[in-house]
Structure 1
Amino acid sequence: MTVPGISAEPPEALRPHAEDAFAEELKALAAADDRPRPARWRLSPWAVATYLLGGVLPDGSVITPKYVGPRRIIEVAVTTLATDRALLLLGVPGTAKTWVSEHLAAAVSGDSTLLVQGTAGTAEEAVRYGWNYARLLAHGPSREALVPSPVMRAMAEGMTARVEELTRIPADVQDSLITVLSEKTLPIPELGEEVQAVRGFNLIATANDRDRGVNELSSALRRRFNTVVLPLPGTPEQEVEIVARRVDQIGRSLELPPAPDAVAEIRRVVTVFRELREGVTADGRTKLKSPSGTLSTAEAISVITGGLALAAHFGDGVLRAGDVAAGILGAVVRDPAADRTVWQEYLETVVRERDGWQDFYRACREVSR
Structure 2
Amino acid sequence: MTDVVRRHAEAEYATELALLAAGDDRPKPPGWKLSPQAVVTYLLGDGDVITPKYIGPRRLMEVAVATLATDRALLLLGVPGTAKTWVSEHLAAAISGDSTLMVQGTAGTPEEAIRYGWNYARLLAEGPTRAALVDSPVMKAMAGGGIARVEELTRIPSDVQDSLITVLSEKVLPIPELGQEVAARKGFNVIATANDRDRGVNELSSALRRRFNTVVLPVPADAEQEIDIVSRRVADLGRALELPDLPPAYEEIRRVVTVFRELRAGVTEDGRTRLKSPSGTMSTAEAISVLVNGVVLATHFGDGVLRAGDVAAGIVGAVVKDPVSDAVVWQEYLETVVRERDGWRDFYRAARSGE
The two structures have a TM-score, normalised by structure 2, of 0.99
Q: What are the equivalent positions in structure 2 for 1:170-209 lying under 5 Å apart?
A: 170-209=157-196
Give the one of 84, 93, 98 matched to 1:106: 93
Deviation at 1:198, TM superposition (A): 1.1
Shift of 1:259: 1.7
1:247 and 1:19 mapped to 2: Cα distance?
A: 20
1:62 is displaced (CA, Å) by 1.0
> What amino acid does structure 2 have at the position aligned with 1:345?
E
CA distance in 1, matches of 2:130, 2:219: 45
Deviation readout 1:37-96 (Å, 9 max, x if unpaired): 11111100000000000005xxxx610000000000000000000000000000000000
Aligned partner of residue 144 in structure 1, secondary structure: helix
Residue 29 of structure 2: aligned partner: 38
Q: Secondary structure at the match of 2:130?
A: coil
The one-letter code matched in structure 1 to 2:26 is R
Query: How far apart are the structure 2 equivalents of 1:26 and 1:13?
Result: 20
1:352 corresponds in structure 2 to 339
3-state secondary structure, aligned to 2:74: strand
Counterpart of 2:14 in structure 1: which amino acid? A
Superposition pairs of residues 216-295 of structure 1, within 5 angstroms: 216-295=203-282
Q: Secondary structure at the match of 2:160?
A: helix
Is 1:315 aligned with 2:306?
A: no
Encode CA deviations 1:166-205: one digit per residue, 9 max, x unaligned.
0000000000000000011100010011111111100000
Partner of 1:53: 44
Within the candidate set 206, 210, 218, 2:197 is matched to: 210
How many angstroms apart in 2 are the aligned matches of 1:131 and 1:39? 31
The aligned counterpart of 1:306 is 293
CA deviations on 1:238-270 (whole Å, 9 max, x unpaired) are 000000000000000101111212121010000
Distance between the aligned counterparts of 1:167 and 1:36, measured in 2?
Answer: 35
Residue 11 of structure 1 and its aligned partner are, at CA, apart by 5.9
Classify the secondary structure of the residue corresponding to 2:148.
strand
Gaps of 5+ in 2: none
Q: Deviations over 1:319-360 (max 9, x none)?
A: 000001110000000001100000000000000000000000
Identity of matched residues, %: 77
* Secondary structure in 2 matching 1:55: coil
- Structure 1 segment 2-81 matched on structure 2, within 5 A: 12-56=3-47, 62-81=49-68
Q: Secondary structure at the match of 2:21?
A: helix
Q: What SS does the aligned partner of 2:138 have? A: helix
**Matching residue within 86, 93, 102 for 2:73:** 86
**d(CA) in 1 for partners of 2:204 and 2:255?**
38
**Match of residue 129, structure 1, among 73, 91, 116:** 116
Instruction: Work out the CA distance in 1 between the residues paired with 2:2 and 2:328.
Output: 46
Task: Give the corresponding residue for 1:340.
Answer: 327
Q: Distance in 2 between matches of 1:195 and 1:12?
A: 37
What one-letter code is carried by the residue in structure 1 that aligns with 2:45? G
**Equivalent-residue separation in structure 1 for 2:250 and 2:13 (angstroms):** 24
Instruction: Select 1:145's aligned residue among 132, 141, 152.
Output: 132
Instruction: Give the counterpart of 2:147 among 130, 137, 160.
Output: 160
Q: Distance in 2 between matches of 1:300 and 1:223?
A: 35
Matches of 2:149 and 2:75, distance apart in 1: 10
CA apart distance, 1:27: 0.5
- Give the aligned length: 355
Per-residue deviation, residues 139-190 of structure 1 (Å, max 9, x unmatched): 0000000000000010011000000000000000000000000011100010
Q: Quote the Cα distance in structure 1 between the aligned partners of 2:10 and 2:68.
A: 18
Aligned partner letter, 2:272: R
Q: Which amino acid aligns with 1:23?
A: A
Q: Counterpart of 1:7?
A: none
Distance in 2 separating the partners of 1:259 and 1:209: 36
Could you tell me how far apart the structure 1 residues matched to 2:207 and 2:352 are?
52
Deviations 1:286-331 (A, max 9, x none): 0000000000000000000000000000111100000011100000
Structure 1 segments (4+ residues) deviating >3 Å: none
Query: Partner residue of 1:3?
Result: none
